[in-house]
Amino acid sequence: MDMLMFQLKRDGAIPLYKQLYEEIKQAIISGKISVGVKLPSKRKLSDFLDISQTTVELAYGQLVAEGFIEARDRKGYYAQAIEELAYLDLPQEEPVQREHFVYQYDFNSGKIDTQSFPFAAWRKIAKEVMDESNHELLLSGHPQGDEELRQEIARYLFQSRGVVCDKDQLIIGSGTEQLMPLLIRLLDKHVVYGFENPGYPLTHTIFAHYDRKAVPIAVEEDGIDISELENSAVDVAYVTPSHQFPSGSVLSAAKRAQLLNWAAAKTERFIIEDDYDSEFRYTSRPIPALQSMDLSGRVIYLSTFSKSLMPSLRIAYMVLPKRLLAAYQQTFLHYSSSVPRTDQQIVAEFMKEGHFSRHLNRMRKLYKKKLEQLTSALAPYAPAVTVSGEQAGMHIVLTIETPFSEKELLELAKQHKIRVFGLESYDIFGRTLTPPKIVLGFGGLSEAEIEQGIAKLMHCWGIDPL
């Protein structure tokens, strides 16, 4: 078919893939795209519209899911007959209502233990920070974040992760999803990003929203596939080397060296290291951050207090290589920090007085006990159930030998009020895994709930203990 002139607005209000999906859908409904006509390839359409292939892929994927087009192996995408689409004449769509479902056991990897937080120490510091003589707190503060907090984070990162930086390299933001767009705008708009697959869904969604070209790179047992990365057009690689999400793999020492050498080979290359839960490692001493091995200023380090303190705090931080710092300060000269100064001051004092390190030590021991309870509860179900990714973090991966598909396992668990997640849902291609793999978080459950939840989960899946 000839290329159609789709009108895509690039103001960021509506993601480009949603606009493209709507334009193609309406063209099929109106007959502008006839039944059986082959759509342009993802590459051709992305080049023609000057958008990323990921944007086209997301739009095509949604159209396939809804039946407007079909994907034929090695042939491409073709428009479906509209008479087969029973829902074409629906009235104006109502806002999507999120399903409210109460789970008895929630194995969500994003949950933390809320019972062990040191509220007394936090409350005392908050009261001191909010003293009425602290008039300075009413002003905007430094655009990169309060100096006191940046100094404490720099000190903590060096001691715990081996990260070498000074406070001027740190940028404080209200979450990874707020810092990543700043970084994307800082780097050249023509660079190609690579992200782990399966991986953290928010990342490639952000690349698509900002119309940046991004390609998935496979994850192996010891981390991202370096050979595939080297053979790609990627300039900036997003990785979670200390505990890959969601597979739980740890980037091997050999691959760390290879990845750093890959980045150093060309001036435009960088590595985004997301160190989201590295505080919790159980089998040995914490593995130093990739940034600590970087001799050429190519690693951009990201982390957050979501796991170490609380998700609701909304404080993340980014360590920029010095080679990018001047460009950042010039580009975002008039920006203010997105984190309230009261929160920044409380965290800074919490760290300075030693409460943070003591809290981490307590939580590391607590999560280790929960992990031991989880693996102990799963042990009787081997070899039908095997565990991986248990070296660090707050989630593991189960490989299940079962006649059920991942979707069926998730539905059976839901029917019994148990929340679990499938690894397939983190794969951008949605490939079927055989045997299925289940992502199981344990941070938000008590030891008793873990034991009870696993017993109930295995029972609903028809897996008996040996």
DSSP 126-173: HHHHT-TT-GGGGS---TT--HHHHHHHHHHHHHHH-----GGGEEEE
Name the amino acid, one letter, at 154: A
| Closest of 372, 169, 356, 223 to residue 279, by C-alpha | 356
Q: Return d(Cα 308, Cα 303) in angstroms, integer.
A: 10
**Could you give the maximum distance between any two Cα atoms of the chain, in Å?**
73
Distance CA 6, CA 19 (A): 9
Q: Which residues of 424-460 are buried (b: 16+ CB within 10 A; e: fewer)?
A: bebbbeeeebebbbbbbbbbbbebebbeebbebbbeb
Give pTM, 2 decimals: 0.78
Please write the tens of the pLDDT for every residue from 298-356.
999 999 999 999 999 999 999 999 999 999 999 998 888 899 999 999 999 999 999 99
Q: Which domains occur in the chain, in start order?
A: 16-84 (1.10.10.10), 105-114+358-460 (3.90.1150.10), 134-353 (3.40.640.10)
The end-to-end CA distance of the chain, in Å, is 59
Nearest to 438 by CA among 413, 465, 463, 403: 413
Rg (CA), the chain: 24
User: 140 Cβ partners below 8 Å, 6+ apart?
Assistant: 336, 337, 341
Q: How many Å apart are CA 466 and CA 464, to the nearest integer?
A: 6
User: What six digits make up the tokens of 359?
Assistant: 């809290």
Residue 107: closest CA among 414, 451, 368, 418: 418
Place of tokens 């936090």: 122
The amino acid occupying position 165 is C
Q: Residue 74: how many CA atoms within 13 Å on its side-chain side?
A: 0
What is the DSSP track for 195-215? Answer: EEES--HHHHHHHHHTT--EE
**Preceding amide of 286 cis, omega within 30:** no
Q: Are 67 and 32 in contact (CB under 8 A)?
A: no
- Give pLDDT tens digits along the chain (466 positions): 555 667 788 777 788 888 898 889 888 888 888 888 999 988 888 888 888 888 888 888 888 877 889 888 888 999 887 654 444 444 444 555 566 789 999 999 999 999 999 999 999 999 999 987 788 888 888 999 999 999 999 999 999 999 999 999 999 999 999 999 999 999 998 999 999 999 988 887 899 888 899 999 999 999 999 999 999 999 999 999 998 999 988 899 899 999 999 999 999 999 999 998 878 888 766 678 999 999 999 999 999 999 999 999 999 999 999 999 999 999 998 888 899 999 999 999 999 999 999 999 999 999 999 999 999 999 999 999 999 988 888 999 999 999 999 999 999 999 999 999 999 999 988 888 899 999 999 999 999 999 999 999 999 999 999 8
Pairing of β 270-274 and β 299-304? parallel
Q: What pLDDT was estimated at residue 90?
A: 44
* SS3 assignment, position 212: coil
Contact 396, 383 (CB under 8 A): no
Contact 204, 54 (CB under 8 A): yes
Give the Cα separation of 199 and 75 in Å (integer).
Answer: 28
Type of residue at 59:
A
Cβ(182)–Cβ(332) under 8 Å? Answer: yes
d(CA 245, CA 454): 22
- The answer to whether residues 191 and 214 touch, using CB atoms and an 8 Å cutoff, is no
The share of the chain scoring above pLDDT 70, in percent, equals: 94
For residue 194, list its beta bridge partners: 215, 237
Select from 192, 204, 144, 148 the least CA-distant residue to 326.
144
Tell me how far apart the alpha carbons of residues 193 and 270 are, in angstroms, rounded to a whole number: 9
Q: What are phi and psi of 261, to 5 degrees?
A: -65, -40
CA atoms of 333 and 327, how far apart (whole Å): 10
What contacts 27, CB < 8 A, 6 or more positions away? 4, 33
Contact 350, 127 (CB under 8 A): no
HSE, CB side, 13 Å, CA atoms: give it for residue 417: 8
